[in-house]
Amino acid sequence: MQTQTLTTDHQPTATAPSSTWLKGYYFIRFAVAAVWVGLAFALAKNMPQLTAVMLVAYPAWDAVANLADAQRNGLAQSKTQIFNFAVSTVTAIAIWVALGKSINAVVEVFGVWASLSGILQLATGVRRWKLYGAQWAMILSGAQSALAGAHFMHRANGTELLSITTIAPYAAFGAFYFLVSAVWLAVSDARRKGERPA
């Protein structure tokens, strides 16, 4: 993981890398998640084939995004993203298998994944705070994801009738946190530029 001197107010140092790519990355993650949630509520519930594709695609997209993030920031400094890529890839395969059993099995797999990926996202956010600042939303999102995962596993073992809309609110919160992180970075960058002497 990259190491930079941390200032007392948790702001990035003068030698911190540009956050331009990271802001764009967060906006893309928000947009994809928002579209997924919209489709889940509007279409997928009554379209089994689309539901199956979307359930596999969600962790598969997360794997691709984490790999791209790791490559952009250096594989040696991105161990949490690499691990997240591996976890999400295995999850996409596990969901494909679970679809042949029941939706409850799918939700249980999602629960395990949400907990693991949440912990890894939290760790990534803590590391990036030292570089960029403005990572509190990603840290909070990771912690909430870990808790949501435990909730999914509990519901999957109950008698409740589950569907893709069981997972959609979780994805919606994820989209929200990515948007907040992108906007917060943009505001922080603009504020720092305004404080620089002419």
pLDDT (tens digit, 9 = 90+) per residue, 96-155?
Answer: 999 999 999 999 999 999 999 999 988 888 877 776 666 778 888 889 999 999 999 999
Q: Give CA angle at 104 (100, 110), nearest 5°.
A: 95
- DSSP state at residue 158: S
Q: How far apart are the first and last CA of the chain?
A: 34
pLDDT grade for 194, boundaries at 50, 70 and 90: low
What pLDDT does residue 34 have? 96
- Alpha carbons 138 and 152: distance in angstroms, whole number: 20
Q: At residue 10, does pLDDT exceed 70? A: no
CB contact at 8 A, 124 and 139? no
- DSSP state at residue 3: -
Q: What residue spans define the domains of the chain?
A: 20-189
The Cβ-side half-sphere exposure at 25, using a 13 Å CA radius, reads: 19
Which residues are CB-neighbours of 47 under 8 A, at least 6 positions away?
none
Q: What is the percentage of the chain residues whose pLDDT exceeds 70? A: 85
What pLDDT does residue 18 have? 57
- Alpha carbons 155 and 157: distance in angstroms, whole number: 5
> How confident is the model over 37-70, as pLDDT tens digits?
999 999 877 888 999 999 999 999 999 999 998 8
Q: At residue 16, does pLDDT exceed 70? A: no
Name the range with the highest mean pLDDT among 16-20, 69-73, 168-172.
168-172
- Alpha carbons 7 and 110: distance in angstroms, whole number: 37
Q: What is the CA radius of gyration of the chain?
A: 18
